[in-house]
Amino acid sequence: MRTADTKTPRVTRNRWLAVLTLCASVAVIAAGDLTPTSDVASADAVTQERPGFAYYRQSVEPVFTRPRGYPDRTEQAACVMCHVWQTSVRFDLQDMTETQDGWVWTEAQSALNYDMLTRLVNASDPASSKLLRKPLAPTAGGEAHTGGAFWESTDDAEYQAVLGWIEMLPDAQFTPAPTPTLDYEFYRTCVQRVFASPRPGQLPCKECHGGGQAGFAPEPSNGTSWTDAEARRGFQAISRLIVPGNPEQSRWLLKPLHPDGGGSYTHNGVRRWRSRSDPEWQMLAAWVRGERTGSNCSI
């Protein structure tokens, strides 16, 4: 348990500890619950309702369990180690089931994985899909990804396998509604103010989130207010912790929210809001949904 007067470690190091703990807990949880969570009727229905399902199971799902290394460390990680329900990221795979052949996703579980993943694809413009852009190196057109860059280029065999599946999906069914954009001006005037004003007795966010991947609250160089460059950096970091249009799945709004009020189970920092009905939470949620813009911070 951290107290207010201990030195606060960098968030990055903590994340790696969190990943290791996560791996252990995934195994425990999976071993404890062998019942597939599914209401899928029959094997035929599973396949018929899901275009490219057989291909998906054969060529896409193995991508998620394959351990992969990082250039600068010895640990290995597989997508499934981080992408389980605990992380509250939209990409959350089912806990695997133990069988005589080892740990697998049953057909019913694969169907649930498929349904979750089809919300991260865009069949009208496959290359724009989150599922392809997150693991792809930014130098090859990918997006910044906390998990790392795994595909050097779009020629990667895994990239091609996933792309092949997205191309099989009918546009009409698998094109998401356009996502709202986060308004920078509102961030600058109303959102930064939130983490610059800690609740009484609480450490300010910047104590622990001044830099690194989750560095959405950089220390202002002049002591009081952020320069535009600093604000831009913070905005970039916060954007990674937000799912535009979806406050309920935006870690930035979940981590400092009390678990009893629907927040994350764990946060190694402070809880700023008791529940989602907190007016400040509501204001920020409206910004995440694209409904609040400009510089009017009224609650």
* Cα angle, residue 186 at apex, residues 181 and 190 outer, rounded to 5°: 140
> Exposed, middle or buried, 117 (CB in 10 Å: 0-12/13-18/19+)?
buried
Q: Going by C-beta distance under 8 Å and a sequence separation of 6 or more, which residues neighbour residue 76?
A: 67, 68, 69, 70
Closest listed residue to residue 266, CA positions, set 281, 277, 251, 280 = 251
Can residue 218 be called a binding residue for ligand HEC (CB under 6 A)?
Answer: no
Q: Taking the complex as a whole, how short is the minimal distance between the CB of residue 294 and ligand HEC, in angstroms?
A: 22
Can residue 14 be called a binding residue for ligand HEC (CB under 6 A)?
Answer: yes
Can residue 82 be called a binding residue for ligand HEC (CB under 6 A)?
Answer: yes
Size of the site for ligand HEC (CB under 6 A): 47
Can residue 77 be called a binding residue for ligand HEC (CB under 6 A)?
Answer: yes
Closest listed residue to residue 134, CA positions, set 115, 121, 116 = 121
In one-letter notation, the amino acid at residue 264 is: S
Interface with ligand HEC by CB under 6 A: which range of 28-36, 47-55, 260-268, 280-288?
260-268
* The one among 221, 266, 275, 295 contacting ligand HEC by CB under 6 A: 266
- State how far the Cα of 290 lies from the Cα of 179, in Å rounded to an integer: 9
Can residue 203 be called a binding residue for ligand HEC (CB under 6 A)?
Answer: yes
Kindly list the residues in this chain that would bind ligand HEC in the complex (CB under 6 A). Answer: 2, 8, 11, 14-15, 18-19, 63, 77, 79, 81-83, 87, 89-91, 120, 130-131, 134-135, 145-147, 150, 195, 203, 205, 207-209, 213-214, 240-241, 243, 251-252, 255-256, 266-270, 272
